[in-house]
Structure 1
Amino acid sequence: MQVGVQVMRKHLWIAVVSCLATATAPAQASEAIDKGDVVVVPLHGEVAPSLLAFLRRAVKTAESNEASAIIFDMNTYGGRLDTATDIVNVLNQTKIPTYTFINTNAGSAGSLIALATQHIFMAPVSAIGAAAPILSTGEDLPATAKEKTISYWSALIRGSATKSGHNPDVAEAFMNKDKEVKIGDRIVHPKGAVLTLNAQEATERINGKPLLAEGVADSVDDLIKKAGLKGNEVTIEPTGFEQFAFWITALAPLLLLGGILGAYLEFKIPGVTWPGVISVICFALFFLGHYLAGLAGWEVVALFILGMVLVLIEILFFAHSTIIFGVVGVFLMLASLLWTMVDRYPGQNFFPTGKMLAIPLLNMFIAIIGSFIVIALLARYLPRTSIYRRFALMDSNPPGPSLAGVPRQFATALTLTPGTQGTAVTVLRPSGKARFADHVVDVVTEGEFIAPQTPVMVLQTDGMRVVVKSAHQI
């Protein structure tokens, strides 16, 4: 049994290490960015949550390495508006000059992302616009919902365009067919249809300013030349783990819940290793997913491990003398879990704002409250299950020097009833041995640990199973 557990643990750690090595290998191979380099980020295909994870990682990598500019090489027909909004929020955090090269298409949600960058260049044959919201089926929204949706998203797109230095009327016309675009006395776009611009229309200069795009470029290299950017060109490519990272971050509360419950059951039923394995897997996936999503580095893992070590020191060496190690350890573990979920960008204040903490705190709240509820149910009903009865007494201390000279009568030779007083002979964690009169009996607590020589009292008996509690707590 122990050999099987050791093999399982070995395979688990090999799998975790392999995942980490695979995940970090692409970054190390293709993201060697020096100060002043120009970072190119391809944004191709559907605007989906996996794209958000990739773009967040790319922006943070560029900022951390002090790149001189970020160019988004865009070719998309659109996708989810909510994801596009999250991407816009990411772009609003960066302090590096941002460029979009519309390499054929910036449709629908793609146009929102392009408007969040400070400079737009377009390929000779390309288009941007047509961002009217529709259902996932491709059908138009119902009338009432459509009016509300367009009003809300129009406000967002106007704000984003204004912040990036683009014409907010043009931005709104991409989404709202009732929006007229008028510059001076000229009506650039009448009401009646959502606006879509080709390269020539977007770069047309009206009153000395381009309507939207600064120029036409044949390629990213041509854009770099026309924009006067300096530094080497470095491309950050997406990895196959971006979609994995999205699901892990979305399931963060469940992973935290699984990790906490696994750790609880590992201590509740000593000798049974699968809860501990599940706990390790849940926490490993939690940290790995947030690392791949660009939300956390390995320092939070080190902080979590340090907290866990302090908790173990408290349990193994200072369980009956101090709580300092345990309290500090739990604090470090909770802090590392919370910090892992904070979306923090280089250059921001060390302490996160309330907005940055909102989602992490919600995830922690769900996980902790859920853990309390499940643990309360387990504490009440788990001791009554056949699984618990099978394993609860497996970890009782074997005969040894501490039991030398103790009579070895069978428990059945003594009638135990609720209220019978005795003394713990071994540590009860939660199972162990206790002395009643001249008999040593296998006993189990309801979950708490009891030190040797502590007075105990029988709460109930069920065949050979004897449940006790510290007499000090009665």
Structure 2
Amino acid sequence: MKRFSFVIIILFLLPVFSVYAVEKTLIYKINLKKEVGSTTWRYVKRGMAEASKKKADAVILHMNTYGGTVIHADSIRTLILNSSIPVYAFIDNNAASAGALIAIACDSIYMRPGANIGAATVVNGNGEAMPDKYQSYMRATIRSTAEAHGADTIINDGDTVVRWKRDPHIAEAMVDERVVIPSVIDSGKVLTLTALEAEKWGYCEAIVNSTDEIISKCLNQKQYTIEEYHPTLFDEIAGFLTNPAFQAILVMIIIGGIYFELQSPGIGFPSAAALIAGVLYFVPLYIDGFAAGWEILIFLVGVILLILELIIIPGFGVAGILGSIMVFTGLILALINNIDFDFSPVEPRIISQSILTVISGIVMGFVIAIYLAHKIGSKGIFHRLALHTVQDAEKGFIGVPRDLFELVGREGIAATIMRPSGKVMIGSEEYDAMALYGYIEKGESIKVVKTENTQLYVIKTK
């Protein structure tokens, strides 16, 4: 009887044990709820790395964005397309412009009722459409993103029909108002789809109200765990510091600080500004693994060579040219995630963007340095940056020894040939001097007529 009761209990508890014995599905969630840029790119990149490290079964990208920069949207798109972990977009409200490109890159798209996707025309800071060469690149990018999800080939009455999972022409219509798709969009309008329209045309797998509904109803997962990527304060700061526009400003401060410090040797405000800008430029890149130690060393050696060339070595020769090249190279390489000069994994656009960022900063640095050099000491905010006290000679302020002025009017002889400079003997002292007119032979009589800038000027008296 006892044995029978034990068997009954085991059979009763077996389903409970089996539930806990099954390993739960791990879903990793990343929020993209602000403007697409360097900060959101950092969120997604680090979140995807964490999901891979934790061996997540899927990633849900929780989106609500009106767009942002194309360069960062393209980076996120590429990361998603190359991910070995399935990525699902949940459009909470908006996936406009750059957000639409990112959503289309995901394996599946789910939308909340009332959500929208589309309007991916490239615009400038004023919201105006950019020239067609920018639109052309965006059209090809969003079209290829839709094509990346594949198509089915169907034979219908002897005709081969390609049925895309996501029609690339619909994606292109989100960029170009000239694209006409019957029953979808007319000419002259950029396409934006509602949740119902997106579901109808294959740009939304289902309309849902939450991420839990996606997992339980759409992905058919009953036992799962959701982990979420929580950005740190450093993510926020590093995202701001690695923004290309801000990096160009840092390069400008570095170049401007070096320029002004070389104009007035010593350690002052320009040195401090250049040093702080250098730290803010290189440290986030070093922590993220972009800037290697040897790349920073190249930059520092270049700065040292420039200092040697402009202060110690006369003229501007090999050291100056080599120093300029090394500074320029160090700043660019720090932005490119190469491995010991191996650029094969680096996309050409990343190299182009890095070069453009550094060149922009250098040009702005020189322009502002020249502007400030002419403005310092003038009226306005730069008035106090210059010394305005005048030391008049009439008040006894002179920049040369007083005894030179006492020699004016005295006579002597030329101690050397003066052609036109040489030495003269006045009394028992020998002085450097210059013939005011013509040449003076050694031993001829002279007379001091004036002194300027610590230089005696003499004439022949006989």
Q: TM-score range by the shorter chain?
A: 0.5 to 0.7
Q: Tell me whether 1:413 sits opposite 2:403 in the alignment.
A: yes
CA 232–349 in structure 1, closer or farther in 2 if over 3 Å, else same: farther
Q: Tell me whether 1:161 sits opposite 2:146 in the alignment.
A: yes
1:342 alignment partner, SS class = coil
CA 361–127 in structure 1, closer or farther in 2 if over 3 Å, else same: same
Q: CA deviation at 1:87?
A: 0.5
Q: CA deviation at 1:304?
A: 5.7
Query: Which residue is equivalent to 1:212?
Result: 203
Letter aligned with residue 41 of structure 2: R
Query: Which residue is equivalent to 1:128?
Result: 116
Q: CA deviation at 1:337?
A: 0.9
TM-score (norm 1): 0.53
Decide which of 46, 60, 66 is 1:71's aligned counterpart.
Answer: 60
Counterpart CA distance in 1 for 2:370 and 2:430 is 34
Q: Which structure has the larger Rg?
A: 2
Q: Tell me whether 1:276 sits opposite 2:265 in the alignment.
A: no
Q: Tell me whether 1:237 sits opposite 2:194 in the alignment.
A: no
Any idea what the Cα deviations from partners look like across 1:94-143, whole Å, max 9, x if unmatched?
A: 5214634334323432652344423233245243335275989999x89x
Query: Which residue is equivalent to 1:171?
Result: 171
Query: Which residue is equivalent to 1:356?
Result: 350
Counterpart CA distance in 1 for 2:193 and 2:249 is 43
Q: Tell me whether 1:262 sits opposite 2:257 in the alignment.
A: yes
1:255 alignment partner, SS class = helix
1:16-415 correspondence runs (5 A)? 39-45=28-34, 48=35, 51-62=36-47, 66-67=52-53, 70-76=59-65, 78-80=66-68, 83-84=69-70, 86-94=72-80, 95-96=82-83, 97=85, 99-109=87-97, 112-123=100-111, 125-131=113-119, 154-165=139-150, 166-174=166-174, 189=184, 191=186, 194-198=191-195, 202-203=198-199, 211-223=202-214, 226=219, 233-237=227-231, 240-241=236-237, 244-245=240-241, 249-271=244-266, 273-287=268-282, 296-297=290-291, 299=293, 302-303=296-297, 307=301, 311=305, 333-342=327-336, 349=343, 352=346, 354-368=348-362, 411-414=401-404
Letter aligned with residue 331 of structure 2: L
CA 260–126 in structure 1, closer or farther in 2 if over 3 Å, else same: same
Are 1:300 and 1:340, in contact at CA under 8 Å, matched by a contact in 2?
Answer: no
Are 1:38 and 1:71, in contact at CA under 8 Å, matched by a contact in 2?
Answer: yes
Any idea what the Cα deviations from partners look like across 1:372-409, whole Å, max 9, x if unmatched?
A: 77889999999xx998999xxxxxxxxxxxxxxxxxx9
Counterpart CA distance in 1 for 2:430 and 2:345 is 60
2:148 alignment partner, SS class = helix
Letter aligned with residue 105 of structure 1: N
Letter aligned with residue 351 of structure 2: L
Are 2:291 and 2:336, in contact at CA under 8 Å, matched by a contact in 1?
Answer: no
1:88 alignment partner, SS class = helix
Are 1:179 and 1:191, in contact at CA under 8 Å, matched by a contact in 2?
Answer: yes
Contiguous gaps of at least 5 residues in structure 1: 1-35, 205-209, 391-408, 423-435, 440-460, 468-474
Counterpart CA distance in 2 for 1:88 and 1:340 is 21
Contiguous gaps of at least 5 residues in structure 2: 1-24, 151-165, 377-382, 389-398, 409-418, 424-428, 433-449, 456-462
- % identical aligned pairs: 18
Letter aligned with residue 404 of structure 2: L
Letter aligned with residue 39 of structure 2: F
1:213 alignment partner, SS class = coil
Are 2:252 and 2:363, in contact at CA under 8 Å, matched by a contact in 1?
Answer: no
| Pairs aligned (count) | 351
CA 190–278 in structure 1, closer or farther in 2 if over 3 Å, else same: closer
Q: CA deviation at 1:358?
A: 1.7
Counterpart CA distance in 2 for 1:121 and 1:386 is 60
Higher RCO by CA contacts (8 Å cutoff, separation 6 or greater):
1
1:414 alignment partner, SS class = helix
